[in-house]
Amino acid sequence: MAANKSLLNLVRTHFSHEKTINWFPGHMAKGIKQMQDQLRAVDLIVETRDARIPLSSINPQFERIIGGKTRLVVYNKADLAPSEIQYTVCKEMAKRNQHVVFTDTISSGSVKQVLNYAVNIAKGDPVRYSQFSVMVVGMPNVGKSSLINALRRIGIRRGKAASTGAKPGVTRAMSSKIKVLDSPPVYLFDTPGVMMPHIPDPVTAIKVALT
């Protein structure tokens, strides 16, 4: 018993949050400018978030960048998150007028939701959307490039077009157009993961850092 009490005394029971995280490398600032410059040529924004941290992976900067563009919110890595959160998240995002889907890039059925969303818009006005362009945005490590590769694999049965890696920040510049569907023609732009320049809430910072 005495030994157990001694061990318990070594366990840390309090975590102070005195510092906030600031991490905004130059390529992220450049990426934001590239996004803004390309927006006029884009028909749909796919904002990718992490299903494991549905609120912490929201970057308020995208609200300013995206403006009134049509947007689909994709909660990726859904296979790593409890499925029961999906209803709550969808309900909350509906209050913000955000259409949400959950994806797992290994599951073709879940990824097809993204393609179908783009196709339905494109087919609704084929004259206007003779070539449908999608910009994929999100914070680092939410799986943007993996999602693009999955869309390409399913849409045109081709291999990887976007670089992926275990570390965040693999994509450091906006890509050229990546074709993911022939009919109607759908193209994607991959973009660098963009962090919030300043995360004032240390709990949010810890969640982002751990995923």
Closest CA to 135 of 30, 39, 50: 39
Q: Which residue did the predictor score with more confidence, 94 or 174?
A: 94
Between the CA atoms of 185, 112, 190 and 72, what dihedral angle is there, to the nearest 10 degrees?
100
Supply the pTM of this predicted model.
0.78
* Confidence tier at 80 by pLDDT (50, 70, 90): very high
Lowest mean pLDDT: which of 14-18, 20-24, 97-101, 188-192? Answer: 20-24
Which amino acid, residue 60?
A: P
What are the helix and strand counts (H, E) for the chain?
7, 6
**At residue 116, does pLDDT exceed 70?**
yes
Q: Which residue did the predictor score with more confidence, 114 or 35?
A: 114
Q: Which residues of 176-211 are buried (b: 16+ CB within 10 A; e: fewer)?
A: eebebbeeeebbbbbbbbbbbeebeeeebbebbeeb
* Confidence tier at 193 by pLDDT (50, 70, 90): confident
- What local confidence, expressed as pLDDT, does residue 81 receive? 95
Question: What does the alpha-carbon distance between residue 97 and residue 24 come to, in Å, rounded to a whole number?
Answer: 28
Q: What is the mean pLDDT of residues 54-60?
A: 89
Give 12-48 pLDDT, tens digit per residue: 555 555 555 555 455 566 777 888 888 889 999 999 9
Q: Which residue did the predictor score with more confidence, 94 or 210?
A: 94
- What local confidence, expressed as pLDDT, does residue 165 receive? 45
The phi and psi torsions of 110 (rounded to 5 degrees) equal -70, -40
**At residue 98, does pLDDT exceed 80?**
yes
- What local confidence, expressed as pLDDT, does residue 170 receive? 46
